[in-house]
Structure 1
């Protein structure tokens, strides 16, 4: 799969997680950053997408810390990202 198709697929998946809150948070993040990600960052984002919604939400809200296995530059970028819904 080429990078453009991979990016489209990941953005779609980010907007269709299952919980509306995580759809909005991850979808907005994906729209903003995935088009710029290189292959390494895309791999990290795919790994982030395997995390459970409650865990991602807790990390985003500062109510917990990811395990070393889940931690990555992309996850830290996601945690720091503030979507603009206006």
Structure 2
């Protein structure tokens, strides 16, 4: 567990969004990329997680244009969706 209270707070908020899908998307993004971030990236992420999950997910999935305040390299990374891992037992394929 990270000893930095600020990072712990962001980690918690990223992983407790309200839906499994948002937890996987926002929390996975934080887990996968935050170790490389500096103060500007953390500030961007903190503003992002104040937004509604439906908006964040639509921006990441490309079904809506990102708010200009969030457009840029970090949103481009989020839109790749290569950081998402689904919990065991949760499948994207129908049987």
TM-score, with normalisation over the residues of structure 1? 0.82
Between the aligned partners of 2:81 and 2:4, the Cα distance in structure 1 is 23
Say which one has the larger Rg. Answer: 2
Runs of 4+ aligned residues of structure 1 deviating over 6 Å after TM superposition are none
Kept in 1, the 8 Å contact 2:29–2:84? The answer is no
* 1:34-69 C-alpha deviation (Å, 9 max, x unpaired): 122111100000011111111111112211101213
Q: How many residues are paired up?
A: 84
Q: Which residue of 1 aligns with 2:25?
A: 25
**Aligned equivalents of 2:8, 2:72: Cα separation in 1:** 21
Consecutive unaligned residues in structure 1, runs of 5 or more: none
Q: Residue 13 of structure 1 corresponds to which residue in structure 2?
A: 13
Kept in 1: contact 2:22–2:57 (CA 8 A): yes
Q: Cα–Cα, structure 1 residues 72 and 4, in superposed 2: closer, same or farther, change >3 Å?
A: farther
CA RMSD of superposed structures (Å): 2.0
